[in-house]
Amino acid sequence: MRIFLIIASGLTLLISCGGSPAPGESDSPPEEEIVSGIAEFTDTAALEDTLIMVSENEEITNAEGPDGAWTTTMGVMEFSTDNQGYVNGVYPLGTIDGELDGTVLEFTYSEGALEGTGSFIFNEEFSSFQGIQDIAGTELIWNGQRM
């Protein structure tokens, strides 16, 4: 499921579009689509009604941590966290183990014989992250969005 965040007239609107992107298609809309959507949405009453419907939708939650399924640069990842802030993640190429401090996850990863370190910085809602994976001194970008 794709969820887009649009800010209009000082209010936040989440728009959910069903389905998954086609192979090779980005899960995020081009920036010009977002800007166009903001420019076209000027009906404040309709925006407020939509916000009420979104807030009543039980599927949309503010997570308190990374637990759950994520679509990432390295494939789908499943995070689990214990009560001390230690995080485990499993993805198609391997696993990560790390410690969460606020919204920052410092981790080690293992991909067969390949091991190293990395870090993710989650947004405040724990709905996306940006990070790096260090492979023998080369940093690769590793981003993700909650599924």
Q: What is the pLDDT of residues 70-112, one digit of tens each?
A: 999 999 999 999 988 899 999 999 999 999 999 999 999 999 9
> Is this prediction's pTM over 0.75?
no
Give domain limits for the chain.
2-56, 68-146
Long-range contacts of the stretch 2-10 (C-beta < 8 A, 24+): 2/27, 2/28, 3/60, 3/127, 4/29, 4/34, 4/37, 6/34, 6/37, 6/38, 6/41, 7/38, 8/38, 8/41, 8/42, 8/47, 9/42, 9/44, 9/47
* 137 compared with 21, residue with greater pLDDT: 137
pLDDT of residue 25: 52
Whether 7 and 23 have beta carbons less than 8 Å apart is answered as no
Does position 39 have pLDDT exceeding 80, yes or no? no
Whether 134 and 120 have beta carbons less than 8 Å apart is answered as no
pLDDT of residue 93: 95
